[in-house]
């Protein structure tokens, strides 16, 4: 599936502030959450609705609702948790799993240190959230771990994606739809996205 890049003046505006090195932790967290909410809104465009009858103060009507219990969000730790508030505001009854992953500083390969997902994860559509898709290694491993658990439908939401990471995920998991606020130019020699926003985890948690 071809990666969907959100193209909207509000996204460009919020992203510009997020990228700015002068933006502090509080604002960075707020914007990460807001962008996650907008990404999730876009990702739910193909959601299947169920027929329901609602009694308004005036009359009964037939309409449609989402079965929120069919979804699970899975943030990739740490930075992915910064997107959680935003996506949960869109589907408050979704369950939440966690995948702990960090990039080894020398090899840039992801190291998986935690995996805990809802028991019935295979019955749910899973929406992975992680602000940065750089080499794509973390995304690739997270998707594989979920597929090993029997998950059939996966979407991947990120704020900035590098062409290298998109290519890797699209080639290995063509069934996974990626949604991103922006596709940046490339990776630098340290496999950071440029122009990017720096280290998402450190900026969300203020660890550097
Ligand atoms: C960042 C980011 C992704 C990963 C992307 O996490 O949040 O998980 O790097 O890089 P990749 O596409 O090359 O795998 P990081 O390893 O910095 O861990 P953190 O979230 O704990 O800061
Ligand atoms: N992880 C980040 O937080 N930023 C990058 O640019 C690449 C990986």
From the CB of 82, is ligand 1 less than 6 Å away?
no
Give the residue whose CA is nearest to atom 6 of ligand 1: 102
Decide if pLDDT at 1 tops 90.
no
Question: Which letter does DSSP use for residue 32 in this model?
Answer: H
Distance CA 135, CA 162 (A): 7
Nearest ligand 1 atom to the CA of 130 is 7
Alpha-carbon separation of residue 162 from 81, 125, 174, 178, 183 (angstroms)? 20, 25, 17, 12, 6
pLDDT of 50 reads 97
From the CB of 75, is ligand 1 less than 6 Å away?
no
From the CB of 43, is ligand 2 less than 6 Å away?
no
Distance CA 148, CA 168 (A): 19
Per-residue pLDDT tens over the stretch 151-170: 999 999 999 999 999 999 99
Please name which ligand lies nearest the alpha carbon of 208: 1
The whole-angstrom distance between residue 47's C-alpha and the CA centroid of its chain comes to 16
Distance CA 186, CA 181 (A): 15
Decide if pLDDT at 190 tops 90.
yes
Q: How many domains does the chain have?
A: 1
Mean pLDDT over residues 188-201, rounded?
Answer: 97
- Residue numbers of the domain that contains 46: 4-205
8 A C-beta contact, residue 130 and residue 80: yes
8 A C-beta contact, residue 176 and residue 169: yes
CATH number at residue 54: 3.40.50.2020
Mean pLDDT over residues 65-90, rounded?
Answer: 97
Nearest ligand 2 atom to the CA of 199 is 3
8 A C-beta contact, residue 161 and residue 182: yes
Give the residue whose CA is nearest to atom 13 of ligand 1: 135
Active site residues: 103, 107, 199, 202
Per-residue pLDDT tens over the stretch 111-129: 999 999 999 999 999 999 9
Decide if pLDDT at 208 tops 90.
no
Q: How far is the CA of 111 from the centre of ligand 1 (A)?
A: 10
| Vertex 170: Cα angle to 145 and 73 (nearest 5) | 45
Nearest ligand 2 atom to the CA of 193 is 6
Where residue 5 falls among pLDDT bands split at 50, 70, 90?
A: very high
Mean pLDDT over residues 96-122, rounded?
Answer: 95
Decide if pLDDT at 80 tops 90.
yes
CA nearest to 92, candidates 68, 111, 75, 56? 68
Mean pLDDT over residues 39-56, rounded?
Answer: 97
The whole-angstrom distance between residue 118's C-alpha and the CA centroid of its chain comes to 18
State the greatest distance between any 2 C-alpha atoms of the chain, in Å, as a whole number.
65
Per-residue pLDDT tens over the stretch 13-29: 999 999 999 999 999 99
């Amino acid at each position: 599936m071809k990666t969907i890049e959100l193209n909207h003046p509000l996204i460009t505006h919020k992203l510009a502030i997020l990228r700015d090195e002068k933006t502090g932790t509080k604002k960075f967290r707020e914007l990460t959450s807001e962008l996650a909410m907008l990404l999730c809104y876009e990702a739910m465009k193909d959601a299947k609705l169920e027929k329901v009858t609602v009694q308004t103060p005036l009359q009964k009507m037939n309409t449609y609702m989402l079965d929120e219990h069919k979804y699970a969000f899975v943030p990739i730790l740490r930075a992915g948790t910064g997107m959680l508030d935003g996506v949960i505001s869109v589907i408050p009854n979704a369950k939440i799993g966690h995948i702990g992953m960090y990039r080894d500083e020398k090899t840039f390969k992801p190291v998986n240190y935690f995996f805990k997902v809802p028991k019935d994860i295979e019955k749910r559509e899973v929406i992975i959230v992680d602000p940065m898709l750089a080499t794509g290694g973390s995304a690739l491993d997270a998707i594989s771990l979920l597929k090993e658990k029997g998950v059939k439908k996966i979407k991947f939401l990120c704020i900035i994606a590098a062409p290298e990471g998109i290519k890797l995920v699209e080639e290995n998991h063509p069934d996974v739809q990626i949604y991103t606020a922006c596709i940046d130019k490339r990776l630098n020699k340290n496999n950071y996205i440029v122009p990017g926003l720096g280290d998402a985890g450190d900026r969300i948690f203020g660890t550097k």
